[in-house]
Chains A and B, each alone.
Chain A
Amino acid sequence: MCTTCGCGGHDALIGGKRPTRSKKEGPISFRAPHSVVPHHHHAPADTVQSRIVQVEKDLLNKNNNLALGNRSYFAAQNMLVLNLVSSPGSGKTTLLVRTLEMLKDKQTIAVIEGDQQTENDAERIRATGIPAIQINTGKGCHLDASMIGHALDQLTLAKGSLLFIENVGNLVCPAAFDLGEAAKVVVLSVTEGEDKPLKYPDMFSAARLMLLNKCDLLPYLTFDVELAIANARRVNPNIEIIQLSATNGAGMDEWLNWISREQATAN
């Protein structure tokens, strides 16, 4: 198992099932199976032919190609896909539930939920009437493009749908794995530190939008909003920022307007 973040393993569950073969991409590939050592006989040392094979392949090449496939599918379906990322406990699911309640009468929406374990989040989403597929990554610390491909096989999506992917709560690993989304949206809550963007710069750099959540709690905290914004812009000068509260609804209109603008651009 990974010493850094505990990722790895071969046991992701998608919609409660082990993925077998995706319609889109052929054999399952997001967890390379350990192949059996081929039976071979070592020739005497002086007759062994040794050579160097030039490879020059990026480690993310496979994921990036699968993400490209997802992205073409989303484009063909006129779908806007947003990848929500944050640390655990930032309020992503509450924010998503509130967002779905405000949007569900206006358009078709679906959700892909990523967590190490449990169906809890997908159940919270389904309670709003929106279809949701839960991916349990097991020991894995992030979603990857292949898991999304498999999840799409289980979702029936109308053209022009809006798809939210709620990534595993983790501010490190999901930054590097393109899922084919239009944008990563990072959620930072005011109960966390203002220096999170500096501590986890890859994620804030990869995101197009930062939602500063739980702003209803500001009167009770010493959180410095301007400092948090300055820190986010230090690692990503172009990041857009919306302050909101999923609990009292402040700023939600601005967030929904941002989604509408992205949908207009995508189409």
Chain B
Amino acid sequence: MHEMSLAESVLQIIQDSSAAENFQRVRGVTLEIGKLSAVEPEAMRFCFDAVTRGSIAEGATLEIIETAGAGICLACSASVEMQEKYGLCPHCGSAHLKVTAGDQMRVKDIAVE
């Protein structure tokens, strides 16, 4: 999906943070991308490099921490690991799974100088 827009959001967050935290140069950015968030890490890397060119984050390293997916089955109440967002409950086969973890996409921290 739309990784370019999301990479622009990353840059915007960096720029907002730069004003608040008073830094001029970014060395590295750590993102937390949930396994169920539908962001392709490779597409994100490509777009991050493209949108940061000419900015204070040009050349910064991008670390992506992929977090695991988990959910709860609304039919049988089992807690389940989720590899995909719209899977079936491995216990009862229901499609009524509610995602409880692994759908986030956020900037965790920035290494600055």
List A residues at the B interface (Cβ < 8 Å): 1-5, 7-9, 29, 31-32, 34-38, 40, 48-63, 140-142, 144, 172-173, 175-177, 198, 201-202, 205, 233-235, 237
Contact of B5 among A8, A201, A233, A237 (CB under 8 A): A8
List B residues at the A interface (Cβ < 8 Å): 1-6, 8-13, 15, 17, 21, 23-25, 27, 31, 38, 40, 42-43, 46-47, 50-51, 53-56, 58, 85-86, 95-96, 104-113
Task: Check A234–B23 contact: CB distance below 8 A.
Answer: no
Task: Check B95–A234 contact: CB distance below 8 A.
Answer: yes
Task: Check A2–B4 contact: CB distance below 8 A.
Answer: yes
Interface SS of B by simple majority: mixed
Contact of B1 among A4, A31, A61 (CB under 8 A): A4
A34-B51, A53-B21 given. 14 additional CB < 8 A pairs? A4-B43, A32-B8, A32-B51, A50-B113, A52-B112, A55-B106, A56-B107, A57-B107, A59-B10, A59-B31, A63-B9, A140-B5, A142-B5, A172-B2
Bound CA–CA A167/B106 (angstroms): 25
Kindly provide the distance from the CB of A52 to the nearest chain B CB, expressed in whole angstroms: 5
Chain B residues with CB under 8 Å of A62's CB are 9, 12-13
Q: Which residue of B lies closest to A141 (CB)?
A: B2
Most buried by B among A40, A59, A140: A59
Chain A residues with CB under 8 Å of B31's CB are 59
Contact of A31 among B8, B24, B85 (CB under 8 A): B8
Chain B residues with CB under 8 Å of A57's CB are 13, 106-107
Bound CA–CA A8/B53 (angstroms): 14
Chain B residues with CB under 8 Å of A51's CB are 23, 111-113
